[in-house]
Amino acid sequence: MLLHAWRTVWRDVEFDPATGSTSVIKRQTARADTAVPSGFAHFERDLFRGRRQAFALFRSGDALFFCAGRHRWKLGQPGLRFAHDHPFPFLSRFRVFESDRVVFSSSYSHIGRLLFALLDPTYDKIDEDSDFFLAFVAENAQSPEWQANIRNRWEPAV
């Protein structure tokens, strides 16, 4: 499935939810502001595993899903919860819980983003959402209002 890259209109991401494999597609022209997505993909380099991990949020039919590599969760299911925190100012931790049990965890460094935020006097929640896809997921993905809005605005993935 073709997903929009989270932070740029100059790339798309071909994502296979069954395997978690990805291909980044560099666009010749910027994606139009009016382009309707099926979802978004983003990458973070796991601090302890050392490899780049793909994350995706997408619509398939009327269902919404979040993927971390080949791991997939249907949004809205009971007991599913996402958490994102900063145990240190330059480090983020993202976790997926099922019935209060951690089933996925990833930690990543964001020193560059931290420095930029400290230097930018206009840095706000919009910048933070752009910089931290996984924080956005943790804050919004299980919200019934957000899910209803996405079902109205995103096209189902093909």
Cβ neighbours of 98 (radius 10 Å): 14
Provide the pLDDT for residue 111.
63
Provide the pLDDT for residue 112.
61
Determine what percent of the chain is predicted with pLDDT higher than 70: 87
Separation of first and last alpha carbons in the chain: 6
Q: In the predicted model, is pLDDT for residue 53 greater than 70?
A: yes
Q: In the predicted model, is pLDDT for residue 80 greater than 90?
A: yes
Provide the pLDDT for residue 150.
95
Provide the pLDDT for residue 48.
78
Q: Which of helix, strand or coil describes residue 149?
A: helix
CA angle 27, 10, 14 (to 5 degrees): 65
Element (H, E) at 129: helix 125-131
Cβ-contact 153, 70 below 8 angstroms: no
Q: In the predicted model, is pLDDT for residue 117 greater than 60?
A: no
- pLDDT tier at 86 (50, 70, 90 boundaries)? confident
Look at residues 16, 3, 76, 72 and name the one whose alpha carbon lies nearest to residue 42: 3
Provide the pLDDT for residue 50.
75
> How far apart are the C-alpha atoms of 79 and 92, rounded to whole Å?
23
Mean pLDDT, residues 6-19: 94
Burial bucket for residue 132 (CB in 10 Å: 0-12, 13-18, 19+)? buried
Provide the pLDDT for residue 58.
97
Q: What pTM value is reported for the model?
A: 0.89
Provide the pLDDT for residue 2.
95
